Structure 1
Amino acid sequence: MPPAVNAKSVTRNVGWSVLSKTGTFGLKFVTVPILARILSPDEFGAVAVALAAVQFLAMIGGAGFASALILQEDEDAVTVHSVFWTNLAISALLAFVIYVYAEPIAGMLGATEAAYLLRTMCLLIPLQLGGDVAYALLARRMQFSKDALWSMISESLGATIALVLALAGVGVWALVAQLFSSALIRIWGLYAVSRYRPGFAFSMRRVLALTRFSLGMMGSEVANFVTFQSPMVVISRHLGLADAGAYSAANRFSSIPNQVVLSAVMGVLFPAFSSMMHDRERRSQALMLSTQVTTVLLAPMMFGLWAVAEPAMRVLFGEQWAYAWPVLGLLAISKGILTPCSTFVPYLKGIGRGGVLFWWALLRAAVTTAAVATGALRGSLVEAMIALCIVNAIVLAGYSWIVFRADDKPFLRGFLQASRPMFTSIVMAVAVRALLDTYGHIIPNPALQMVVGILVGGVIYTVLILLTERPLLRTLMALARKTTPAATTAAAIAE
């Protein structure tokens, strides 16, 4: 039986996850711009397209078995071994298929130049799926600190290797080496700390018993993956590898805040909400508090990035990428719009609404792909990103309606309460952008423009939050007296 979820366990695990993602954030904040200065947009685009294909097939190959293991009442050895061998067999088959059919797959993705990368990167599938069982065991034991430690180590060493190789002039292979080294180090660490050793046991009956949950989870995860990766494929097919590279670089950088906050919290929220499945009042309070806090943290980062996108692109990525600053800004807006949705997926998973999550994710994937394709067909990467922003605004309303209906909360009241920090962030960002457009010529240095924009935005946002979120701040201050400040939200969720 998985250990009981309480304030102490959630607080500790969120704290470790946040520490891990913060370290990764600092690393990527440095390495992504450096690699972008050394490598060309075409090289970024080729790796991004190949990686999208590999990750998509790896997700299908996993079939959601790791998530199903987390929710099992007992840590049955035969079931665990059966999942390991199933994952290994499927991943080996998928890697073989990619290797043999690399050219047609690359052509279908609009990047025939990336076929040679697909043949190499197909080996990432067994590496990714091979660690699923070890991670599932750590997750069900609520030992996120061990996973966090090895995530930091693997990402740090992988990024260091990539930088050294890029500076040595190996080109696109620097990015490939980063992916392989990080995957190898992480899988070794997961097996070391989970103490799992594959046994020669297999039961097809037990594997099939997991599919009732795992297939539904896999379906929603695949749909979500299509949502996030389909723009890359569409852009590559219709606009070329250079635009795909610009999208990839801007997307990787603008995703860093989400990776820090959401990736750290989501893994813990899923089991936490699961423990509250039959306690409506408690889960409702946890949903609203966690949504408000993540929105307060994420929304100003995303909309603030839009406000300073032009000087930021020049300072961080260099002049060869300067033309792509509208892409960075629009991607930041598209992600900022969805910040109130940050807790909705683990909430729906945790209360057993996997079917609703699957159908909504499927609809979202189809609409997102169609919208970006429409923008790209009109001949502009910027128009494709504008279409993405419009779709995400619709997604925000739709997700909110689904979640608040499941929570028996009036839609309008719940939506306004959860989204208020996002609207506050928009006001702040518009003010900063207007100030830079009006008085930016006084500060000709892009680095100083970026710094001034960040400082002014921070002051404006702080004042607005003090005026609009006083009840939330009082709640957080009260909770801070009971636990450490860094884990306030986590403790509140579990109480």
Structure 2
Amino acid sequence: MPSNVNAKSVTRNVGWSVLSKTGTFGLKFVTVPILARILSPEEFGTVAVALTVVQFLAMIGGAGLASALIVERDEDMALIHSAFWANLAVSLLMALGLFVFATPLANLLGAPDAAHLLEIMSLLIPLQLAGDVAYSLLARRMNFSKDAAWTMLSEVVGALVAVVAALLGFGIWSLLSQLFVSALIRLAGLYAVSGYVPRFSFSPTRVLSLCRFSFGMMGAEIANFITFQSPMVIIGRYLGLSDAGAYSAANRFSSIPNQIVLSAVMGVLFPAFSQMAEDRERRSQALMLSTQVTTVLLAPMMFGLWALAEPAMLVLFGKQWAAAWPVLGLLALSKGLLTPCSTYIPYLKGIGQGTLLFWWAVIRAVATTGAVAYGAIGGTLVEAMVALCLVNLAALVGYTWVVLRADRLPFLRGFLMSVRPLASAFVMALVVRLLLQAYGSLLPNALLQVLVGTAIGSLIYLVLVLLTERPLLLKLRDMVRTRGTSGSMPAAAE
């Protein structure tokens, strides 16, 4: 891991990560609507439910050992090899357990047709976990540029295979082919760029030395996973696979902006904050600056998607999905509310606040699961999404309070700085939505409504940002001008 992390190194690595995520999720922007037009909501729903189980077990199987390696001061190869073999052994056990209990699990989730998919997809668990250690080495070295090309390649090839298979009539198997092809290429790429070669060296004592950190991270990740995936399980169980498919398609599309920026930023900020852990002033400046920037970038995308959800759903997914436009809009709104929280998880991980992260993640998981279940059991999919929005609004306030308190920063000032771009984005989206309702009929088709709405919204948001975020914009301008010089993170804008 680099001995000095500064604005230049963080910005460069975030740039590479954003480039990678833009390529991969930009590809999903194209392929998800194509696949949605070819496949049925039931097929989407079946794969989505099965994938939820696989991702959950893969996360548990990793047990946070790769994250623990990132915060280690030195690259102890004996420790690295031990972590690799521990990950591999656990992943194989997980895969075997999923294969054996596929049928009862599928029945429990209300998707009996997914049983045979679970048996096949169990192989994804070792494919995913086998590359964790190689990735942790890249993260330690803040060398994300070498990972970017392979990430994009794996997603491009996987998406192309899925589209071709769907066009040839393979149906649900096209989605499976995408998952396996992408996983295999990604695994090969991680080993190619990290230079890591596993050796048969295993020390239980060394693995246990990582567990104090890794178990806390595992608990938080499990809670976060429940937060993100429990709606899919609940919807599939109580509202049926058709609604689960509508939720899956809308969720995958509405997640693209977040995943482009957030997954890139979070992956880089975790090792960066780890290096700043003992420098409170520097890490606080980095926290506020990164929070402001990500919110300014993401909030208009998410709230704008809420404003244009009705014509966007028709343009992107076709008439068979048109009735699901409120789901797309509400999902975008719920994700937009949490954009200021995007830097909080890597921050708490980086400064060693695993216990605090765990308990807050548990509270959020319980609240999210309960709210969505209440909406789904007693109402409709739309009511479940409204409940999700309300929970995320409460989570925004609570998460901000937890993080600012952990860093001994004033809550009100920090909260207002973080949510100021949200207010601008919401005003923009509300104006666009009102204009669309009043004058949308004057535009001949849904595509033109999306294009005109995007143009008007962009102009409104630009004006609002220039009026409300001038200190931040000046700070970013100064960073660009001094990009060639090293130094610490600039102070957050007032």
**TM-score over 0.5 (shorter chain):** yes
- TMscore range, shorter length: over 0.9
Is 2:207 the counterpart of 1:198?
Answer: no
In structure 1, the residue matched to 2:336 is: 336
Equivalence for 1:468: 468
**Which residues of 2 match residues 149-298 of structure 1 at below 5 A?**
149-298=149-298
Following TM superposition, by how much is the alpha carbon of 1:156 offset from its aligned partner in structure 2, in angstroms? 0.6
Partner of 1:65: 65
Q: Show the counterpart of 2:375.
A: 375
CA separation of 1:489 and 1:345: change in aligned 2, threshold 3 A: farther
Amino acid at match of 2:434: A
Provide the secondary structure at the position in 2 that maps to 1:346: helix
Q: Deviations over 1:87-137 (max 9, x none)?
A: 111111111111111111111111111101001000000001011111111
C-alpha separation in 1, matches of 2:246 and 2:422: 27
Contact kept, 8 Å, 2:29 with 2:256, in 1: the verdict is yes
How far apart, CA to CA, are the structure 1 residues paired with 2:478 and 2:48? 45
**TM-score, length of structure 1 as denominator length:** 0.97
Amino acid at match of 2:57: L
Alpha-carbon shift at residue 147 of structure 1 (Å):
1.4
Distance in 2, matches of 1:422 and 1:382, equals 23
Contact 2:239 2:376 in 1 (8 A): yes
Paired with 1:490 and 1:318, the residues of 2 have a C-alpha distance of 49
Counterpart amino acid of 2:394? I
Give how far 1:492 is off: 4.5
In the other structure, the counterpart of 1:114 is: 114
In structure 1, runs of 5+ residues without a counterpart are none
**TM-score with structure 2 setting the length:** 0.97
Amino acid at match of 1:99: F
Partner of 2:38: 38
1:414-453 matched pairs, under 5 angstroms: 414-453=414-453
- Check if 1:99 corresponds to 2:114: no
CA distance in 2, matches of 1:490, 1:2: 14
CA distance in structure 2 between the aligned counterparts of 1:136 and 1:268, rounded to whole angstroms: 11
Task: Tell me by how many angstroms 1:489 deviates.
Answer: 13
Q: Distance in 1 between matches of 2:299 and 2:125?
A: 34
**Separation of aligned partners in 2, 1:279 and 1:4:** 12
Aligned mates of 2:41, 2:54 — CA distance in 1: 20
Q: 75-84 vs 425-434, which deviates more? A: 75-84
1:136 aligns with 2:150: no
Contact 1:272 1:493 in 2 (8 A): no
Q: Read off the aligned partner of 1:406 and give its amino acid letter.
A: A
SS at match of 1:343: helix
Q: Residues of 2 paired with 1:492 and 1:25: CA distance?
A: 30
Letter in 2 for 1:436: L
Once the two structures are overlaid, the 10-residue window that deviates more, 475-484 or 89-98, is 475-484
Partner Cα distance (2:8, 2:331) in 1: 36
Q: 2:78 maps to what in 1? A: 78
Question: Paired residue for 2:316?
Answer: 316
CA deviations on 1:53-81 (whole Å, 9 max, x unpaired) are 00101100100000011111221121111
Distance 2:491 2:415 in 1: 19
User: AA paired with 2:217?
Assistant: M
Where does residue 126 of structure 1 map in the other structure?
Answer: 126
Over residues 205-247 of structure 1, what are the superposed CA-to-partner deviations in whole Å (9 max), with x where a residue is unaligned? 1011110000001110111011000000000000011100100
**Percent identity for Structure 1 against Structure 2:** 70
Residue type matched to 2:69 in 1?
Answer: L
CA contact under 8 A between 2:294 and 2:340: conserved in structure 1?
yes
Listed one character per residue, the Cα deviations across residues 316-357 of structure 1 (whole Å, up to 9, x for unaligned) are 000000010000000000000001111111111111111100
Aligned residue in 2 for 1:346: 346
Q: Which moved more, 1:275-284 or 1:427-436?
A: 275-284
Q: Supply the distance in 1 between the matched residues of 2:378 and 2:444 (Cα, whole angstroms).
A: 34
Deviation at 1:475, TM superposition (A): 1.1
Kindly tell me: are residues 152 and 489 of structure 1, through their superposed partners in 2, closer, same or farther at Cα, counting changes over 3 Å? Answer: farther
Q: CA RMSD in A?
A: 1.7
Q: d(CA) in 2 for partners of 1:424 and 1:474? A: 18
**Counterparts in 2 of 1:489 and 1:25: CA distance versus 1, 3 Å:** farther
Task: Kindly provide the amino acid, as one letter, of the partner of residue 368 in structure 1.
Answer: T
Contact persistence 2:39–2:171 (CA under 8 A): yes
Q: Tell me what 2:365 maps to.
A: 365
> C-alpha displacement at 1:491, in angstroms?
6.2
Displacement of 1:408: 1.6
183-192 or 5-14: which moved more? 5-14
- Kept in 2, the 8 Å contact 1:340–1:419? The answer is yes
Q: Is residue 98–residue 119 contact of structure 1 (8 Å, CA) maintained in 2?
A: yes
Aligned-partner Cα distance in 2 for 1:98–1:115:
10
Amino acid paired to 2:53: A
| Kept after mapping to 2: 8 A contact 1:3/1:141 | no
Aligned residues: 492
Residue 483 of structure 1: how far off its partner (Å): 2.1
Match of 2:104, SS? helix
- How many Å separate the matches in 2 of 1:283 and 1:2? 16
Paired residues of 2:45 and 2:246 also in contact (CA < 8 A): yes
In the alignment, the residues of structure 1 paired with residue 468 and residue 13 of structure 2 have an alpha-carbon distance, to the nearest angstrom, of 30
Counterpart CA distance in 2 for 1:469 and 1:177 is 45
Q: Residue deviations 1:248-288, cap 9 Å, x none?
A: 00000000001111111111111211222222222221111
Q: Which residue of 1 aligns with 2:327?
A: 327
Q: How far is 1:488 from its partner?
A: 12
Task: Please say if residues 124 and 183 of structure 1, whose CA atoms lie closer than 8 Å, have aligned partners that are also in contact.
Answer: yes
Report the CA distance between 1:493 and its aligned residue.
Answer: 8.3
Paired residues of 2:400 and 2:415 also in contact (CA < 8 A)? yes
Contact 2:285 2:489 in 1 (8 A): no
SS in 2 for 1:325: helix
CA contact (8 A) 2:238 2:377 kept: yes
Kept after mapping to 2: 8 A contact 1:220/1:359: yes
* 1:149 Cα offset (Å): 1.4
Query: Which residue does the alignment assign to 1:409?
Result: 409
Following TM superposition, by how much is the alpha carbon of 1:407 offset from its aligned partner in structure 2, in angstroms? Answer: 2.0
